[in-house]
Amino acid sequence: MSAESVESGSRPPALVDRPPAWRFLLGAIAAAGSFRALVLAIIGLQLTAIGWAAIDRLSRDEPGATRRAMLGPRPTIERFEGRDALQGALARSVSAILDPIRVVSAPIGGVLTIDRGRLGPGRSSAAAFWALAVWGVIGGGIGRLAVARLDPMREEVGAWSGVRFMGRRLRSLIAAPLGLLVGVGLLSLPSALIGLGMAFGGPGAEAIGSGLLVVPLLLAIPAALLVLLLVIGWPLMVLTVAVEGEDGFESVSRTASYVRHRAGVLVGSIVLSVAAGAVGLVLVSQLARLVVHLVGWGLAIGGPEGVIAPGFAWSGAGMGSWPVGWDRWQEGVGLVLHAWAFSYAWSAMARIYVVLRGEVDGTPWPDLYRPEEDAEPFAPEPSPPPRSA
């Protein structure tokens, strides 16, 4: 790099030219293994579990009911046993990779359910609000780490600074999805009035409601589009706040623009990222399998092989036959695998955001990630320099 480019602050062409989109998106697999991103994902999963457990206690339901209704089973070490073992492992990995979207879409689905379900709209609303808050901050922090890694000329971003940056914008993170839900509710008011008339009206209420049904049907079309924008575009709204520092309204507007103008690019990028993430999670589970085996190998040097081998050996790693009292470590392996899935999903969505930003706005990816960490709000004013005599 020449001295002129350094002095002018310009970047060399190698840093400005992005690789092909498919290869650029596959880079999320390596980014997901970042220690700081994994730690943030573990914290997010634990906070989600704590909040949902509190909802279960307040509703006097069995512990874990909300979590089982909202998320799939935690990933485990794959051992490839039986017929179609690889297909089964990939299918389970795809389900785990989609959990970062399901963590919000499932509670929102509970809010919009017709039969009220087992959890009810109140519990689903509380679960959705908690998930939006937790993963808006944690997911945005992971996204900031992922985007910052794309520009080696910037200073390294800390995990805590990213979380603090997002925490100070929590209002925007909540306002964007809640605004869309409020829009859905307003569009549903005519349907509610017709339903109220059917409940308390006379014998002809159903006939009148049937004649007026065309109005709710027409209003349900934009409502459905708002729901799709919320479910598909929520991670992009979070990343707009994380990368650009924009408010809730601007994040919704930018996300809607990306979905409207580059829907094919968005869907194709998500499909490619999910497929790559499923393969990556299978490989990570095999790394965990090797780690567990090596732990067992070390224990067996001085311990009883018959007790250690069933749970630690390569052929049986993760089968649940660890010594009594060691189950929490087995659960820890599953937690790390689940955290990798969340870390990957947010790292991949950060790269998808960069692709869409360049496709729609023509912004080179090194020019992203401008907002810096806010100054300490209670820091004292700097003292004026002493006057010269």
What tens digit of pLDDT does each residue of 347-378 get?
999 999 888 888 777 666 555 555 555 444 43
Give the whole-angstrom CA distance, residue 21 versus residue 265: 10
Task: Give the lowest-confidence range in 179-193, 196-210, 280-294, 324-338.
Answer: 196-210
Q: Where are the beta strands (DSSP E) in the chain?
A: none
Domain region containing 74: 19-78+85-191+223-367
Distance, C-alpha 142 to centroid of its chain = 9
Confidence of residue 255 (pLDDT cuts 50, 70, 90): confident
More confidently predicted of 295 and 349: 349
In a domain, 374, yes or no: no
One DSSP character per residue, 140-164 reads HHHHHHHHHHT-TTSPPPPHHHHHH
Q: Residue type at 332?
A: G
| pLDDT of 208 | 67
Rounded Cα distance, 98 and 357, in Å:
23
Looking at the domain assignment, is residue 47 inside a domain? yes
For residue 84, name the pLDDT band (cuts at 50, 70, 90): confident
pLDDT, tens digit (0-9, with 9 covering 90-100), for 160-171: 888 888 888 888
Q: Which long-range contacts (CB under 8 A, 24 or more apart) does 199-205 make?
A: none
- State the CB neighbour count (10 A cutoff) for residue 107: 26
In this prediction, residue 386 has a pLDDT band, given cuts at 50, 70 and 90, of low
Q: Is residue 217 domain-resident?
A: no
Q: Is residue 1 included in any domain, yes or no?
A: no
pLDDT at 366: 55
- Which of the residue ranges 153-157, 222-226, 288-292, 321-325 has the most confident prediction, judged by mean pLDDT? 222-226
Is residue 379 very low, low, confident or very high in pLDDT (cuts 50, 70, 90)? very low
19 Cβ contact partners less than 8 Å away, ≥ 6 residues apart: none
Q: Are 94 and 118 in contact (CB under 8 A)?
A: no
Query: Total domain count for the chain?
Result: 1
Helix (H) or strand (E) holding 349: helix 327-361
In a domain, 65, yes or no: yes
What integer pLDDT is reported at residue 382 of this predicted model?
46
66 within a domain of the structure (yes/no): yes
Residue 118's pLDDT band, with cuts at 50, 70 and 90, is: low
Structural domain contains residue 7 = no
Question: Residue 68 has what pLDDT?
Answer: 85
Average pLDDT over residues 106-120: 77
* Chain centroid to CA 304: 43
Residue 37 and residue 175: Cα distance in Å, rounded? 25
d(CA 136, CA 144) in angstroms, rounded, equals: 12
Does 178 reside within a domain? yes
pLDDT of residue 275: 93
